């Protein structure tokens, strides 16, 4: 986020105050926004703070609530695995194209998709193991 902020400030200062636009700042800001978005998403999934509608879940008894949680984590894990697989294929295909200003491979920019998917998958696997152990260990199934 700091790179994004610095690039945007530099872009405004150089374009409007100094009247000497820096073409690379827009590209770096865009790419850092993409990376920050995916990294933030994987952190949010790791903390279990992703979007969910749980008002019906709260009405369930512990065992069905546990089952819904297992299904939810499993579906999220499948999505993360799809991100890894298709994101890796996509970023690999984009390695031949280069960005217009920085002239770096586009695949490097979009390699954050499988990396974030891997980060999410690791967190989700840990959540799944914890949820299974929590029920077996006699703890609360919530």
Residue-wise pLDDT tens digits, 56-112:
778 888 888 888 889 989 999 999 999 999 999 999 999 999 988 889 999 999 999
Centre a 10 Å sphere on the Cβ of residue 53 and count the other Cβ atoms it contains: 6
Mean pLDDT for the stretch of residues 16-44? 90
Q: What confidence score (pLDDT) does residue 83 get?
A: 96
- Tell whether 142 is covered by a domain: no
- CA 98, CA 85: separation in Å to the nearest integer? 22
- For the entire predicted model, the pTM comes to 0.81
- CA 99, CA 78: separation in Å to the nearest integer? 31
Split at pLDDT 50, 70, 90, the class of 139 is low
Mean pLDDT for the stretch of residues 11-15? 87
- Tell whether 42 is covered by a domain: yes
- Tell whether 45 is covered by a domain: yes
- Where do we find the tokens 């994004």? 4
Q: Residues 6 or more apart from 43 whose CB is under 8 A from it?
A: 119
Provide the number of structural domains found in the chain. Answer: 1
- Tell whether 141 is covered by a domain: no
Could you tell me the residue range of the domain that residue 53 belongs to? 2-136
- Tell whether 115 is covered by a domain: yes
Q: What confidence score (pLDDT) does residue 142 get?
A: 47
DSSP 13: I
- Burial of residue 33 (CB within 10 Å: 0-12, 13-18, 19+) is middle
pLDDT in tens, 45-59: 988 887 777 777 788
């Amino acid at each position: 986020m700091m790179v994004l902020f610095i690039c945007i400030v530099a872009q405004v200062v150089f374009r409007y105050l100094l009247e000497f636009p820096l073409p690379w700042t827009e590209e770096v800001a865009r790419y850092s926004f993409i990376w920050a978005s995916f990294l933030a998403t994987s952190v949010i999934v790791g903390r279990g703070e992703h979007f969910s509608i749980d008002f019906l879940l709260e009405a369930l008894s512990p065992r069905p609530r546990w089952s819904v949680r297992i299904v939810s984590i499993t579906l999220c894990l499948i999505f993360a695995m799809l991100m890894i697989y298709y994101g890796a294929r996509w970023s690999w295909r984009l390695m031949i194209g280069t960005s217009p200003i920085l002239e770096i491979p586009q695949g490097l920019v979009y390699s954050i998709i499988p990396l974030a998917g891997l980060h999410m998958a690791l967190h989700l696997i840990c959540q799944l193991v914890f949820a299974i152990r929590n029920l077996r260990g006699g703890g609360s199934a919530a």
